[in-house]
Structure 1
Amino acid sequence: MTDQAPNDAPQRDPLLDALRRAVQAAPDDVALRVHLGQLLLDAGRTEEATAEAAAALATAPADSSAAALMLAALQPGTGSLAEPETAAAPTTQAARPVPEFDWHAAEQQVDHIAEAAFVDDGATPDADPSSAWSPESSSVTFADVGGMEHVKARLTASFLAPLANPELRALYGKSLRGGLLLYGPPGCGKTYIARAVAGELGARFISVGIADVLDPYLGVSEQNIRGVFEAARAAAPCVVFIDEIDALGQRRSQTRSSSVRGMVNQLLTELDGVDGGNDGVFVLAATNQPWDVDPALRRPGRLDRTVLVLPPDAPARQAVFRSELSRRPVEGIDLATLAARTEGFSGADIAYACEVAAERALMDSVATGTPRLIGMADLTAAVSELRPSTGPWLDTARSVVTFGEDDGTYAELRAYLKKRKR
């Protein structure tokens, strides 16, 4: 091959042209591409050789021949992949050191081909678990809760009266800590009454469910529980409401899961306040299945007080009807009659009855083309279509108090079932 001037265009080489066509036909053939790059490097066409080396490495990043070609192309004067046989160097001359590969220069050569392998997204894997919980304020008070007078009285004795009377609290040595288990049929206002406690106390409120805590990775669920209580202690006075406590604190004798056992143990530790004082942290837990809660959670100093939240009585049912209908166009509603016809209904049942009545009025308005108000007939028809959802729970509860072991925890439930003759 004849020499060419530095500024002259490279002469056409039939062999190189043939190899280029072969590479275009088989772009993933690394060996063929490396061979083309070596010939280009031998011809002094370094930039083209570098491009072929980069393409080969993009196809096969671990290929040693492609890496050697890139090294030879980026280090001027290193020559081909295999040094041609020449006369042996004098024995007194030290062997030429192998040049160190300049990775920075290599990145500059190929940084237009691919994005960086790793990007710092600013994640903080060791973040404080308590930072995930933001205590909120509650605007609900006992005035917003219809009926439930016995529940309010128990909550007042446990939390409200000691906080409102600091002198008497100090005299009787009553601490600002404690736990209370609310149990009863679903849909009867356990969450609502917990928010009302926070509103009466003027305290912050944290609501916790199984989905907020449970994590598939070992130890993270326990860390989440610890974070809840750390956030509550920092925001004291604070009400921590644990919904479906039977899922988080189920009987350890009934499970073989180490993760469930770990959650229960961590919950016991936090309720005891071993790592920090729980003064000003009020724990309310709710469940529909109190017989599935681990007995250790109901020992003194933990969730030691139990309150039965029954289906709303007549005044409470009137209050629920009034609340649900206050946002709808109604006329001629007799709340006392509705309350009398919904004995055993939960608050959720009553809310659904109001929804059905509104739907009847809406569809009638669509059919006639004239909007009308929701009347007593709509609500009476809606109530007659429904059955109380509390029935199955009460049947289960009757079996538990009749045939199960009862240490007196369910005395209130037993009296209620006897009164209702279930």
Structure 2
Amino acid sequence: MDDVTLASLKAALAASPDNAPLRGLVLKAHLDRNEVKEARAILGDSAPDLFSEPDRLHAARTLVQAGEPERALLFCANHPSAEAALLSARALAALGRKDEARSAYQRAVSLNPTLEDRDLLAQLTASVRDVQPSAAGGPRLRVISNDDTAANEVDRVLAPPQPPLTFADVGGLEEIKQQIRKRIILPFQKPSLFERFKKKAGGGILLYGPPGCGKTLLARATAGECGATFYNIAISDILDMYIGESERKLHALFEKARQTTPAVLFFDELEALAAKRQFSREGTSAKLVSQFLAEMDGFAQNNAGVLILGATNTPWAIDPAFRRPGRFDRVLFVPPPDAVAREEILKLLIKDRPQESNLDLGFVVKHTSAFSGADLANVVETASDSAIERSLAQGTEAPITSADLKGALKEVKPTALEWLTTARNYARYANDSGQYDEVLAFLQAHGKS
């Protein structure tokens, strides 16, 4: 509001001081101009019941900024809005009533998440304690610490947890799930029956396919279905610059798994540890591959109850010795999701997010034929960004709409096409043993051959 208009309104208020709506309008104008002192002068000693609900909020904000929290609480009392709860939290914090302030803050954020204020929360969760001086004397210290760190967060720092997953958490891939149930999970669940047929639980299975199609998620879900301890082995956990250390670490990991059966060892980006030895430029890499082979099916090793899962985007780079029966003898192709799987994945991704009631997932499914699971997640995340921006602009929570999803489809591009182009060449010209028959069948079924 410009100076001339504001001066006119103030003159009108001086002529009719009992005009409550006019007083509220002038009060808001001064607040919008960040003129707290002038706003406080306009407020005067007026009682809360002389103001409408919106104007009571302006009055409460004026009093909080003017350093009068007690009176601000009078204007916030019995006000139903989230903004009033947040102003109450600020006033209570200024009065040192932190428990009540935290309760008011939580109520405000539950009503309107866009009002979240991390600085205020840190102030409400900080504690002050006096540290006694030492016997030798010294100053008395006042220590401010933040007590909002839960015990489980400390545990996360020491050992990042892996929340248990099951196949219900993995959208689509029903044929692969069925194969895993038959070949992997049942031997863990019915060991006596399999022992009668001289079959042991464990072994190795290699998952391959385009990036982002759920290989890692499927491995974690397999461990959850087996009720087994899951070890996610990162490349950095193995590779070492010193000769012999990588092999030693690999052996130690297998020993740990053997001691905690049933266990699942999951090696992501397997090609970094199991590349073809004839193409290795360093002797140390070839030794690591040999150690890996010995751990999986060596003369002195007993891996009963240990399942080795590997995932790779480049199965053609894996040393062929790993494909021998007894090692990664079961190789499963994890393709991009089909239409049914895409719908299921989208439902899992959109679940528990604010969304309109008639969200058009069918449109997304129809226009994402070459999208991986990660690409679909990117679509939902991009749509969520749009909803968050709209929420911040409106000052209230705005749900994800079909328009948000359609807008996201214009931004997100499929990432599996490049892999499928490369895989097509191997399926056509390097498939003597039939190891890429599944890839070829997928390409033919989707018209990409």
**Count of residue pairs the alignment pairs up:** 290
Q: What is the match of residue 197 of structure 2?
A: 172
Residues 74-93 of structure 1 mapped to structure 2, 5 A cutoff: none
Answer with 205-214 or 390-399: which moved more. 205-214
Question: Structure 1 residues 219, 337: CA separation in 2 closer, same or farther (over 3 Å shift)?
Answer: same
Question: Structure 1 residues 282, 176: CA separation in 2 closer, same or farther (over 3 Å shift)?
Answer: same
Q: SS in structure 1 opposite 2:230?
A: strand
- The alpha carbon displacement at 1:344 in A equals 1.7
Match of 2:300 among 257, 275, 287: 275
Match of 1:341 among 326, 343, 367: 367
Contact 1:210–1:247 (CA under 8 A) maintained in structure 2: yes
Q: What is the match of residue 219 of structure 1?
A: 244
- The alpha carbon displacement at 1:368 in A equals 4.6
Which of structures 1 and 2 has the larger relative contact order (alpha carbons within 8 angstroms, sep 6+)?
A: 1
Residues 2-401 of structure 1 mapped to structure 2, 5 A cutoff: 139-331=164-356, 332-401=358-427
Match of 1:414 among 440, 443, 447: 440
Question: Structure 1 residues 217, 146: CA separation in 2 closer, same or farther (over 3 Å shift)?
Answer: same
Question: Structure 1 residues 281, 137: CA separation in 2 closer, same or farther (over 3 Å shift)?
Answer: farther
2:416 is aligned with what amino acid? T
Contact 1:135–1:204 (CA under 8 A) maintained in structure 2: no
Answer with 137-146 or 264-273: which moved more. 137-146
**Alpha-carbon distance in structure 2 between the residues aligned to 1:134 and 1:322:** 31
Question: Structure 1 residues 344, 304: CA separation in 2 closer, same or farther (over 3 Å shift)?
Answer: same
Contact 1:179–1:302 (CA under 8 A) maintained in structure 2: yes
Q: SS in structure 2 opposite 1:181?
A: strand
Q: Which runs of 5+ in 2 are unaligned?
A: 1-157
Q: Which runs of 5+ in 1 are unaligned?
A: 1-132
Q: Residue by residue, what CA displacement relative to the aligned partner does 1:1-57 show, whole Å, maximum 9, x if unpaired? A: xxxxxxxxxxxxxxxxxxxxxxxxxxxxxxxxxxxxxxxxxxxxxxxxxxxxxxxxx
- The alpha carbon displacement at 1:364 in A equals 3.0
Q: What is the match of residue 98 of structure 1?
A: none
Question: Structure 1 residues 135, 324: CA separation in 2 closer, same or farther (over 3 Å shift)?
Answer: closer
Question: Structure 1 residues 171, 265: CA separation in 2 closer, same or farther (over 3 Å shift)?
Answer: same
Question: Structure 1 residues 380, 135: CA separation in 2 closer, same or farther (over 3 Å shift)?
Answer: closer
Contact 1:138–1:195 (CA under 8 A) maintained in structure 2: no
Contact 2:431–2:437 (CA under 8 A) maintained in structure 1: no
Contact 2:204–2:308 (CA under 8 A) maintained in structure 1: yes
Which structure has the larger Rg?
A: 1
Question: Structure 1 residues 137, 236: CA separation in 2 closer, same or farther (over 3 Å shift)?
Answer: farther
Structure with the largest fraction of helix: 2
Contact 1:137–1:204 (CA under 8 A) maintained in structure 2: no
Contact 2:427–2:440 (CA under 8 A) maintained in structure 1: yes
Contact 1:208–1:242 (CA under 8 A) maintained in structure 2: yes
Q: SS in structure 1 opposite 2:210?
A: coil
- The alpha carbon displacement at 1:336 in A equals 3.1
Q: SS in structure 1 opposite 2:205?
A: strand
**Alpha-carbon distance in structure 2 between the residues aligned to 1:205 and 1:244:** 17
**Alpha-carbon distance in structure 2 between the residues aligned to 1:138 and 1:230:** 23
**Alpha-carbon distance in structure 2 between the residues aligned to 1:376 and 1:299:** 49
Answer with 218-227 or 142-151: which moved more. 142-151
**Alpha-carbon distance in structure 1 between the residues aligned to 2:209 and 2:310:** 12
Q: Residue by residue, what CA displacement relative to the aligned partner does 1:173-215 show, whole Å, maximum 9, x if unpaired? A: 1111210100000001101111111111111000112121111
Q: What is the match of residue 13 of structure 2?
A: none
2:237 is aligned with what amino acid? D
Q: SS in structure 1 opposite 2:232?
A: strand
Q: Residue by residue, what CA displacement relative to the aligned partner does 1:125-173 show, whole Å, maximum 9, x if unpaired? A: xxxxxxxx98976521112222111111111121112222234212221
2:297 is aligned with what amino acid? D
Contact 1:208–1:241 (CA under 8 A) maintained in structure 2: yes
Question: Structure 1 residues 135, 262: CA separation in 2 closer, same or farther (over 3 Å shift)?
Answer: farther
Contact 1:134–1:231 (CA under 8 A) maintained in structure 2: no
- The alpha carbon displacement at 1:369 in A equals 4.6
Question: Structure 1 residues 380, 402: CA separation in 2 closer, same or farther (over 3 Å shift)?
Answer: same
**Alpha-carbon distance in structure 2 between the residues aligned to 1:412 and 1:274:** 33
Question: Structure 1 residues 338, 138: CA separation in 2 closer, same or farther (over 3 Å shift)?
Answer: same
**Alpha-carbon distance in structure 2 between the residues aligned to 1:151 and 1:170:** 24
